Amino acid sequence: MANRLGGFSRMMMLSTAKNRMMMLSTAKNSTRKEGFRRMFSSEADKNHKEIFGRVDRYFDTGITKALFTGSAIGRGITYLRIGVVDTTQKRLDTLPGELENNVRGLKNQVGELVKSVDELSNQVDEFLKIVYEFSNQVDEFLKTVVTRNNEVDGFRNQVDELVKSADGLRNQVDELVKSVDELSNQVDEFLKIVLSHNNKVDGLSNQQGASEKSI
């Protein structure tokens, strides 16, 4: 029973709201336009409380206020949808150009990066050339050092041969000195013999002289 009465009461309220809306539609155009202008002006859109206050000035029942508030909300949603669609459409219209600009900017950045990489590669090539030249100079220096070492080794071998020859010559000199010493000793012995012979000759000569004197 209560549900039936509640439903009947709601129907009556809807009917009253319908009558009020019909009365509003038959009112003067200026009053209706002014009411809607005030209800949906940009100033009212800024504050919902102001919208509710303006609606209260024209309508008394809560259901009518709810209906017109719902209309305002629906219109706001419609405006929001239109704004979203319009914004989305504008965004879709400008998006290809922005993407193209972004792609061009990215291509330019990639081009600059490629140029930087090329310059770095050229610098690396120049550095490698310097390294190769230095390596070649080191190789030439090592070849010169090896050649000089070979020359030094040959000179050292020659000196070794000269030392060996000097040692052999020294041995020969030593042998010659020994031979000279032996020869000197032999001469000394021969001189001794000669002196002894001379002494004997002198002795005989003295004896002969003495014999001659005695005769």
- Residue 140 tokens read as 């030439």
pLDDT band at 114 (very low <50, low <70, confident <90, very high): confident
What does the pLDDT look like over 60-70, one tens digit per residue? Answer: 444 444 444 55
What does the pLDDT look like over 27-38, one tens digit per residue? Answer: 444 444 455 445
> Which of 55, 84, 79, 81 minimizes the C-alpha distance to 68?
55
For residues 148-166, average pLDDT? 87
For residues 9-35, average pLDDT? 48
> Which of 24, 20, 47 minimizes the C-alpha distance to 36?
24
92 conformational bin, left if phi > 0, alpha if psi -120 to 50, beta if neither? alpha
pLDDT band at 137 (very low <50, low <70, confident <90, very high): very high
Contact call for residues 91 and 47 (beta carbons, < 8 A): no
> Which of 29, 28, 30, 52 minimizes the C-alpha distance to 39?
52
Q: pTM for the full model?
A: 0.35
pLDDT at 130: 92
Q: Which residues contact 75 (CB under 8 A, 6 or more apart)?
A: 40
Round the average pLDDT of the chain to a whole number and report it.
69
